[in-house]
Amino acid sequence: MTGPDLVPITADEAEAAAAFLHAELNPRVSAAAWTALLRPPWQDAGPDSGVLLRDGDRIVGVCAAVRSLRDVGGASIPLCNLAAFCVLDGYRMHSVRMIRALLARRDVQFTDFSPSGNVVAMNERLGFSRLDTATRLVLNPPAGLPRGVRLSSDPAVLAAVLQGDDARIHRDHRDAPAARHLLVQKGDRYAYLVYRAHRMKRLRLFALPLYAGGDRAVLEEAWPAVRAHLLRHDRLPFTLAERRLLGFSRGVGRVLRNPRARMVRGAGLDPAGVDYLYSELALVEW
């Protein structure tokens, strides 16, 4: 008898892999939502969406990946985000084999933004390193809009104002199910914030920034108004303000003792410039 087979998750395999993730990893996330993860809305999404483990006709494991091309220092770098990982108990010995199948390409840089349990230690053994995720949990209280500051989440306004890489990021993520967008304008300057409504300890009360573009100084100057928008518009009373991502972490709150691990692997990624786009954080609501 031969062992289980490793199969790339192509378009033909996406729905079956999504059904497995719904049944075995997180039933609160629908199979349709998992399918959206495996079929991201941007171009250059790569030849596959990870690998699955099949024993005969039965799927027994899925390692979902989100692929993209990112502009880093003027060069396009293939990126692979390890987005969801689930293997049935009797097949756990194949876990490292599945990960190694994805890590085999030397020209690809890798990220893992939601590792949990023993996956963190496994990633470290496979050459991943941890990002600095120092985070301040801050309150989002009501606040007025400062003179000369304008806020908008209108896709047409964002498309008209954003420039360069920010414009491409908006095009790629405007249909990403978990990504929310906010434009902050002050005179002829702008900041661009992409965030998600995040759940911690089963409480969906937190804004989690995924990307801060444009002029970060504008975002910091308007930070009280931005947090008030997150409360009023999204009903999120808290923000998980990560200093590395935002460039600051102001606001009444407290520093998290054990922020979530976020991990990267590859010499082409500058940890200071890694954001959380093109990943499960932008594609899946849970």
Q: What confidence tens digit (pLDDT) does each residue in 68-110 have? A: 998 877 778 899 999 999 999 999 999 989 999 999 988 899 9
pTM for this prediction: 0.94
Residue 1 has pLDDT above 70, yes or no: no
**What does the pLDDT read at residue 51?**
96
Domains in the chain, ordered, with CATH? 5-131 (3.40.630.30), 135-259 (3.40.630)
Q: Among the listed ranges 41-50, 68-77, 90-99, 244-253, which one has the minimum average pLDDT value? A: 68-77
The mean pLDDT of the chain is 93
Q: What confidence tens digit (pLDDT) does each residue in 186-215 have? A: 999 999 999 999 998 889 999 999 999 999
Tell me which range, 91-100, 176-185, 262-271, is most confidently predicted by mean pLDDT.
176-185
**What does the pLDDT read at residue 2?**
66
Q: Of 227, 216, 256, 248, which Cα lies nearest the Cα of 134? A: 256
